[in-house]
Amino acid sequence: MTSIEDQLAAEAEELDGYFSDTPLEPQPNYPPLNEKFDNAIIILNLPQVPDSKLEKLTKVVMKLVSRIGNLAVNEDTGFSGVLMPFNNDKGTTEGFAFCEYETPEEAKNAIGVLDGYKFDKNHSLNVVPYPRAEKLQKMKETEFVEPERPPFVEKPNATAWLEDPSQRDQFVIRYGKETAVYWYDHKSDPVVDYAGEREKEAGVSWCEYYCHWSPKGSYLATLVPARGVILWSGSDYEKVGRFVAPDVKTVMFSPQENYLLTNNMRLDDETAIKVYHIQSGKLMRAFPLFPDNFPRGDNNNIPPPPFQWSHDDNYLARMGQDLISIYSTPTMRLLDKKSLLAEGIHEFHWSPKANVLACWSPEQSNSPAHVDLIEIPSRKKLRQKNLFNVTKCSMVWHDDGEFLAVKVTRHTKSKKTLYNNIELFRVNDPGVPVEMLDIKDAVMSLVWEPRGTRFAMIHAENPSSTKVDVSFYDMMKKVPESTISINKKGGNKKGPPQMTTVAELNKIETLEGKQCNVLFWSPAGSTILMASLGDSASGTLEFYDVNSKTLVIKEHYRANKVLWDPAGRTVATCVSQPVEGGHFKFAMDNGYILWSFQGKQLYQQSFETFYQLLWRPRENLLSKQEIKKVKKNLKNYEKQFEKADKERQRALYLEETKGKRAERKKYRDLLSQLRELRREQKRRHVELQDGYDSDDEEHYTTREMAIETILSTKEEVVL
């Protein structure tokens, strides 16, 4: 009997050559199993509809999602790319849908577009990537434990600096690698408050680019282009916020200090402009440098249109092609989901005190150029002013939003000669009356007087001439009361007639033959600094008091910036250079000078490299009544302040002289030591000179000489 082994061996021998160990060729071509589902999304918060409406809803959803990308349609399985589960128990849809795209990019894009999309009145969509839902599903549900409240951390007092007992102002300067905040009492030399000592110790710099104060002076923002923006606040300059913004070039605070806008000026960055919420540090929204379809000019020389905040932080607006996009806070969504259409718009400005926009558009095919005042959010046109033959407009709001000046440059029919006029809007008066001021000259600059009704402008017949005229106008006219109410009986005989103001434009005066290119009103009004700034200018500074008509002329050669302190007591003129460096020819003039509003030089400081000086802004906290009260009691305050000033100065003087006295003693001691040494060496010195003592007075002989000088001769004939 043969064993099983033998049988098998024989069988194998027979079959040898029929089977091989190598795998079958070719391998069946299975598609790779995709387990990632990253091209799928889940749309939540859809309406729950009954069977009857299912078809309609599916249609709407399909239309919505298919617009974004190609759906992963599978004809074999009949999958349409969207799956909307139906709950048979409830008889309605579940209120969500799965959606699959061909690529993960499309899915990502869909999330960006659809998340937060207002599907209808009651449903705004919530869209999540499928993998996230999967992850959530896997999570085990446990007892909810209330997270522990983080311990309360007191924020530094942002207004601590206002409580300075001697009511000093502050300013920050950037020079070399330093950034320093100074106290300034408008009399003695500035004193350093903080210069980044803490950061220096840690081996970092607290500012590597420019710095900016927030509009109310609560924060100091310093720019570190490698990382972003840092906010400092409180009396110790604590770090209160950090905002990521690589390559940041500029920042802009919202007027109420709620938001911070950063900009890195990069064309290739889709998120060049970022808007942060300051308190929470949350990124609200990001924008590219240019709005879509914005005309960039022939040589890409049109600068990006700037964002502008409304005065109350409620709106952020930017101009686009034929429209203004207004985003409302805190959602940062377009106001009423659509931009404000403004055909051909060229420029717009928010009113500094109301949610009113002023914008102008040049002449279009058959509509004239026009300046519009538009109220937001109602989009109501408060006023439209049509203008003809316009070449260019520029708009200047009064600080209180009461007046708007529009400088209009017009051309004659032949377009050969240009002339100017100024349209003045009285925004707060009913119907917004507009007055026109005809100026034959070219107007170079127009500025409103803060806290006043006057404006000043530079004009000249030839814009390139060095001598220009400066004119002052008042929007209100002072007239005796009697001219208004003629029929009033009596009362006017005694004393001067009561004066009152009427809304009537009148010219105050013209100063002729001035050498200036920029005007700077003091924030307190009344005083104006007429400056000639820039590289080719003379640096002449003329301090003019419009009320008393006094003029003081000073000079700061090569000055390129003028900055008034918030109270209008001191004005700084700077010679600064850009941080980016480059060749700066007159680096040796770099520095700043502080002047009193009367043109007296108070302080001067020079630096090898000087970049920036900024006064810390102060909020105006007093009401009109309170200001009136202060003004009434000015004499008392004056006495108090004078006394405090004197005491402080005395203390400072004593401190200084103490140090100086010690210095002097040191020097005198050294000098007497050296003289003693010379006395000891005297004998040897005399020997050197062959025994002649050069200090011995006896070697001198005094000789008296009479010198006769004939002053004049005169010949007279004596008869």
Partner 1 sequence: MRPYLLQGHERPITVVKYNHDGDLLFSASKDQVPSMWRTENGERLGTFHGHKGTIWDLDVDRFSRWLLTASADATVKMWACETGECLQTFPHRGPVRGVAWSENNRTFATISDPFVEHNAKISIFDTESDSVDPVLEIDIPKEHGKRVNATKIWWTYLNEHLLVSFDNGVIRLYNPITGDIDDEIRAHEKKINRLQMNKDKTLFITSSADFTAKLYDAVNLQHLKTYQTDRPVNDAVISETKDHILLGGGQEAMSVTTTSGKVGKFETRFFWLVYEEEFGCVKGHFGPINALATNPNGLNYASGAEDGYVRLHFFDKSYLDMKDPVPEAEESIDGDDDDDDQKPAAADQ
Closest CA to 99 of 72, 121, 123, 60: 72
Q: Is 553 in the site for partner 1 (CB under 8 A)?
A: no
Our finding on whether 166 is near partner 1 (CB under 8 A) is: no
Minimum CB distance to partner 1, residue 654 (Å): 6
Minimum distance between the CB of residue 257 and partner 1, rounded to whole angstroms?
Answer: 38
Q: Among residues 284, 201, 204, 218, which one has the least CA distance to residue 255?
A: 218
**Relative orientation angle of helices 634-688 and 624-632, to the nearest 10 degrees:** 60
Assigned token pair, 508: 């105050």
Strand order in the sheet with 191-194: 191-194, 178-184, 169-175, 610-615
Closest distance of CB 185 from partner 1, Å: 16
Q: What are phi and psi of 523, to 5 degrees?
A: -60, -20
Query: Using the rule CB under 8 A, is 436 a contact of partner 1?
Result: no
From the list 7, 501, 506, 657, which residue makes contact with partner 1 (rule: CB under 8 A)?
657
Q: Which stretch binds partner 1 (CB under 8 A): 75-83, 106-114, 165-173, 679-687?
A: 679-687
Neighbouring CB atoms inside 10 A of 546's CB total 19
Q: Please tell me the number of Cα atoms within 13 Å of 167 on its side-chain side.
A: 9
In the window 367-386, what residues touch partner 1 (CB under 8 A)?
A: none
- Closest to 564 in 3D by CA, of 612, 608, 591, 528: 528
Residue 484 is a binding residue for partner 1 (CB under 8 A):
no
Give yes or no for residue 683 binding partner 1 (CB under 8 A): no
- 684 touches partner 1 (CB under 8 A): yes
CB of 191 to partner 1, least distance (A): 17
Token pair belonging to 52: 């009857």
Q: Is residue 670 a contact residue for partner 1 (CB under 8 A)?
A: yes
- As a whole number of angstroms, the distance between CA 111 and CA 69 comes to 11
- CA distances for 68 relative to 111, 113, 369, 687, angstroms: 10, 8, 40, 107
When asked if residue 660 is in the footprint of partner 1 (CB under 8 A), the reply is: yes
Per CB under 8 A, the segment of 59-67, 238-246, 317-325, 688-696 that binds partner 1 is 688-696
Residue 681 binding partner 1, by CB under 8 A: yes
Residue 595: CB minimum distance to partner 1, A: 17
Give, for 317, the enclosing helix (H) or strand (E): strand 315-320
Number of residues assigned to the chain: 719
Please give the DSSP secondary-structure letter assigned to residue 311.
Answer: T
Among 241, 523, 591, 599, binds partner 1 (CB under 8 A): 591
- C-beta contacts of 582-591 below 8 A and 24+ residues apart: 586/558, 589/557, 589/558, 590/175
Size of the site for partner 1 (CB under 8 A): 32
Q: Which of 690, 696, 697, 698 binds partner 1 (CB under 8 A)?
A: 690
Least distance from C-beta 412 to partner 1, angstroms?
A: 40
Based on the shown chain and the rule CB under 8 A, indicate whether residue 558 belongs to the binding site for partner 1: yes
Q: Which residues pair with 420 in a beta bridge?
A: 409, 439
Give yes or no for residue 671 binding partner 1 (CB under 8 A): yes
Answer yes or no whether residue 588 interacts with partner 1 by CB under 8 A.
yes
Stretch of residues binding partner 1 (CB under 8 A), selected from 70-78, 253-261, 470-478, 666-674: 666-674
189 binds partner 1 (CB under 8 A): no
Q: Which of 506, 560, 553 is nearest to 530 (CA)?
A: 553
C-beta of 436 vs 553, nearer to partner 1: 553
- Residue ranges binding partner 1 (CB under 8 A): 538-539, 555, 557-558, 588-589, 591, 606, 650-651, 654, 657-658, 660-661, 663-664, 667, 670-671, 674-675, 677-678, 681, 684-685, 688-690, 694
